[in-house]
Amino acid sequence: MIASEYCIAVVDDDVNIRELVEIYLQREGFRTIGLGSGEEAWELWKTSPPDLWVLDIMLPGIDGYELCRRIRTEAEVPIMMISARDTEVDKILGIELGGDDYLVKPFSPRELVARIKRQLQRWYGSTRRSDGQVSEREEEQAAGQTSRIELNELELISEERRVFWSGEEIDMTYKEFEMLKVLAEHPNRAFTRGELLTLVWGDDYYGSDRAVDHLIKRIRKKIEHLPVEAVWGHGYRMRSEGSAV
């Protein structure tokens, strides 16, 4: 990963925290933009969106939750949320609205930078290669290959990250797509919430497994008759057509 390829927006009304985070990021070679309000951040989004957002929740005007929701409804981009609020409810709300990670203040700037690097690798690692080699995705595209997953009325096109239900395209966020992909690739298999957390969020995720329930809920709102069912006391599975209920 070449840090200079990435621009990171740091949105916090506390100028001391904002500038400190920017200093640590710039030391690692990242380009940064510092903003003090949700309104400024929303204007940036409309004109020159960054590669990753660091959002404080308690912003004046448009708060971090609302800003996260707005960004997530329009695009796929990693979002790190930071806040002095450390209750489980706050963390779950941040994840439910589309945040990818949540760090409680006061935090170590080094830890924040490490988490940012992990998110960038997860989101862009398959397409931005610093070693000059061609990625697997690029090889597939060059060969005209398309990785498709079809199950019942559901169709996923992996390298384009597109989802279709009964022939109609459905907009999905990054994690919504990853959850569908995991379940559709293994029809009728019951995954525990812990397994889904690892497969979708990564093995270094620190939040509650209720994030899985919230993500499934969001997906069901978008695809009403999706055959994803809860397995009591265990987790979730996606039924294939004709399988027992």
CA distance 131 to 21: 28
Residue 14 vs residue 175, higher pLDDT? 14
Report which of residues 91 and 227 the model is more confident about. 227
Q: How confident is the model at residue 206 (pLDDT cuts 50, 70, 90)?
A: low
Band of pLDDT at residue 2, cut at 50, 70 and 90? confident
Q: Per residue in 12-71, pLDDT tens?
A: 999 999 999 999 999 999 999 999 999 999 999 989 889 999 999 999 889 999 999 888
pLDDT of 167 over the 70 cut: yes
Domains identified in the chain and CATH numbers: 3-124 (3.40.50.2300), 146-238 (1.10.10.10)
Residue labelled with tokens 């080699």: 133
**Is the pLDDT at 1 greater than 90, yes or no?**
no
**pLDDT for position 202:** 76
- Where residue 242 falls among pLDDT bands split at 50, 70, 90? low
Q: What is the pLDDT of residue 141?
A: 40
Q: What percent of the chain has pLDDT over 70?
A: 87
Range 196-202 average pLDDT: 85
Angle of helix 210-222 versus helix 88-96 axis, rounded to 10: 30
CA–CA gap between residue 241 and residue 188 (Å, rounded): 10
Give CA separation, 234 vs 88, 194, 229, in Å: 21, 9, 11
φ and ψ at residue 153, rounded to 5 degrees: -90, 0
> Of 198, 186, 200, 204, whose CA–CA distance to 240 is shortest?
186
The number of CA neighbours under 13 Å toward the Cβ of 62 is 17
The β-bridge partners of 10 are 34, 54
Question: Which amino acid type is present at position 90?
Answer: D
pLDDT at position 129: 38
Q: Can you give the three-state secondary structure of the chain, one letter per residue? A: CCHHHCEEEEECCCHHHHHHHHHHHHHCCCEEEEECCHHHHHHHHHHCCCCEEEEECCCCCCCHHHHHHHHHHHCCCCEEEEECCCCHHHHHHHHHCCCCEEEECCCCHHHHHHHHHHHHHHHHCCCCCCCCCCCHHHHHHHCCCCCEEEECCEEEECCCCEEEECCEEECCCHHHHHHHHHHHHCCCCCEEHHHHHHHHHCCCCCCCCHHHHHHHHHHHHHCCCCCEEEECCCEEEECCCCCCC
CA proximity to 49, closest of 11, 12, 88, 17: 11
User: What is the overall mean pLDDT for the chain?
Assistant: 83
Q: pLDDT tens digits for 91-149?
A: 777 777 778 888 888 899 999 999 999 888 877 764 443 344 444 444 444 444 458 89
Report how far apart the first and last C-alpha atoms of the chain are (Å, whole number): 45
Interacting residues of 206 by C-beta distance below 8 A, sequence separation 6+: none
Q: What is the pLDDT of residue 144?
A: 42
pLDDT of residue 181: 94
Weakest mean pLDDT among 72-81, 107-116, 190-199, 227-236: 72-81
pTM: 0.62
